[in-house]
Amino acid sequence: MNTVAGTGVPLDLYFEVQTFLFREARYLDDEQFRPWLALLTEDIHYWLPIRENRFRKDRRPPPTPADSASVYNDDLSDLTDRVARFETGFAWVEDPPSRIRRLVTNIEAETTARDDELAVYSNILLYRNRRQDEEAWFVAARRDRLRWVDGTWRLAKRHIVFDQHVILDDNLSVFL
Amino acid sequence: MITDFRRLLRADGGTQNREIYWNEDLYAQELEQVFARSWLFLTHESLIPNPGDFITTFMGEDRVIVSRGGDGVIRAFLNSCNHRGNIVCRADSGNVRSFTCNYHGWVYGLNGDLADVPLEKEIYTEPLDRKRLGLRQARVESYRGFVYGNFDPEAPSLLDYLGEMAWYFDSFMDVPGGAELLGPPIKVRFKANWKFFVENFIGDFYHAGWTHAAAIKVIGGALGMIQGNQAVAPGTQFATTFGHGFNASPGTDDLFPSIHQGRIATMFEDWMRSRLPVVRDKLGTERARLYNAIWDGGMFPNTSFLRGIDTWKVRQPRGPREVEVWTWTLVESEMPEELKRGIRHSNEKTFGAAGLLEGDDGENMEGNTHSSDGVITRQQPLNTEMGLGRETFRDEYPSMISEPADNEAAHRNFLRMWKTMMTAKDWDEIITRRRQDARR
Q: How far apart are CA B331 and CA B321, in angstroms?
A: 32
Question: Catalytic pick from B44, B62, B170, B212?
Answer: B212
Residue in A101, A120, A124 with CA at minimum distance from that of residue A112:
A120
Would you say residue B439 has pLDDT above 80? no
For the question of whether the overall pTM of this predicted structure is more than 0.90, the answer is: yes
Mean per-residue pLDDT, B371-393 = 95
Chain A residues closer than 8 Å to B352 by CB: 70-71
**Most confident of the following: B207-221, B285-299, B426-440:** B285-299
A interface test, pick of B313, B315, B356 with most A CB neighbours within 10 Å: B356
Cα B27 from Cα B29, distance rounded (Å): 5
Assess whether pLDDT exceeds 90 at residue A7. no
- Structure confidence at residue A2 (pLDDT): 85
d(CA B315, CA B328): 12
Active site residue B207: yes
Range in B16-30, B217-231, B290-304 the model is least confident about: B217-231
Query: Residues B144-165: what's their mean pLDDT?
Result: 98
Measuring CA to CA, which residue among B337, B342, B331 is closest to residue B177? B331
What SS3 class is residue B77? strand
- Segment A9-18 shows an average pLDDT of 96
Whole-angstrom Cα Rg for chain B? 22
> How would residue B440 be classed by pLDDT, with cut points 50, 70 and 90?
low
Are the CB atoms for B234 and B269 separated by under 8 Å? no
Name the band, by pLDDT with cuts 50, 70 and 90, for residue B76: very high
Residue B115 has pLDDT above 90, yes or no: yes
Using the 8-state DSSP alphabet, how is residue B84 labeled? T
pLDDT higher than 90, residue B342: yes
Q: Which residue in chain A is spatially nearest to B344 when comparing CA positions?
A: A69
List the domain boundaries for chain B.
Answer: 40-141, 167-438
C-alpha pair distances (Å), A160 with each of B77, B93, B183: 35, 22, 19
CB atoms within 10 A of CB B42: 23
Residues paired with A3 in a beta bridge:
A10
What residue ranges do the domains of chain A occupy? 3-52+63-162
Say yes or no to pLDDT of B101 above 80.
yes
Give me the pLDDT at residue B400, please. Answer: 97
Question: Which residues from B are below 8 Å from A173, CB to CB?
Answer: 354-355, 359
Name the average pLDDT for chain A: 96
The string of pLDDT tens digits covering residues B238-280 is 999 999 999 999 898 888 999 999 999 999 999 999 999 999 9
B204: annotated active-site residue? yes
Contact B392, B402 (CB under 8 A): yes
Mean pLDDT of B412-432: 98
Nearest to A15 by CA among A153, A176, A158: A153
| Distance to chain B for A66, nearest Cα, Å | 7
Q: What is the pLDDT of residues A106-122, one digit of tens each?
A: 999 999 999 999 999 99
User: How big is the A-B interface in CB pairs under 8 Å?
Assistant: 113
B291-331 pLDDT, tens digit each: 999 999 999 999 999 999 999 999 999 999 999 999 999 99
pLDDT (0 to 100) of residue B161: 98
> pLDDT-based confidence at A18, cuts 50/70/90?
very high
Residues of A in contact with B326 (CB under 8 A): none
Helix (H) or strand (E) holding A48: strand A40-49
Q: What is the mean pLDDT of residues B134-156?
A: 98
Collect all residues from B whose CB is shorter than 8 A from any CB in A. 90-96, 182-191, 211, 213-215, 217-219, 228, 261-262, 324, 329, 341, 344-345, 348-349, 352-356, 358-360, 362-363, 366
| pLDDT at res. A6 | 83
Q: What pLDDT was estimated at residue A73?
A: 98
**Would you say residue A77 has pLDDT above 90?**
yes
Q: Which amino acid is at A38?
A: A
CA-nearest residue to A130 within chain B is: B363
pLDDT score for B203: 87
Q: Which CATH number fits domain B167-438: 3.40.50.150, 2.60.120.260, 3.90.380.10, 3.40.50.800?
A: 3.90.380.10
Q: Is the pLDDT of residue B3 over 70?
A: yes
Query: Using CA atoms, how far apart are residues B162 and B154, in angstroms rounded to an integer?
Result: 16
Mean pLDDT value of segment B379-394: 96
List the beta bridge partners of residue B400.
B239
CATH architecture observed for domain A3-52+63-162: Roll (3.10)
- Asked if A55 and B91 touch (Cβ cutoff 8 Å), the reply is yes
Residues in chain B with CB shorter than 8 Å from the CB of A55 are: 91, 94, 96
- Cβ-contact B97, B62 below 8 angstroms: no
CB–CB contact B348 A70 (8 Å): yes
Could you give the ipTM of this predicted complex?
0.96
Q: Which CATH number fits domain B40-141: 3.90.870.10, 3.30.1380.10, 2.102.10.10, 1.10.357.10?
A: 2.102.10.10
Extended strands (E) in B244-302: 245-250, 293-299
